[in-house]
Amino acid sequence: KAGVTQTPRYLIKTRGQQVTLSCSPISGHRSVSWYQQTPGQGLQFLFEYFSETQRNKGNFPGRFSGRQFSNSRSEMNVSTLELGDSALYLCASSLDEGTQYFGPGTRLTVL
């Protein structure tokens, strides 16, 4: 079974721009979660989607949003990028409330 895939793997943007990251879960997994990893704040939960609905949300500003499609693929969007948004964004999938399996991440650099 193929693992979680994320595209793109690397991204460079400038302040004020917006960005969309994509995540394809393991086949059959309906839950997709997003995490942000930075040296200063560590790994932080952004949000979780299940059956195309946002089921849980972390403490991030409204500039961070996401969605899930009927095939369980998910996208997250960050608008009006700030320097502090530079991070590794990790996506994880699970069957439901099970173990989360992570993708390789998208490394976002904001200049």
Counting residues that bind other proteins (by CB under 8 A) gives 25
The two structure tokens encoding residue 24: 């394809």
Q: Pick the stretch among 15-23, 62-70, 72-80, 84-92 that binds other proteins (CB under 8 A).
A: 84-92
The two structure tokens encoding residue 38: 């930075």
Query: Given candidates 50, 66, 72, 85, which one binds other proteins under the rule CB under 8 A?
Result: 50
| Minimum CB distance to other proteins smaller for 33 or for 74 | 33
CB of 71 to other proteins, least distance (A): 19
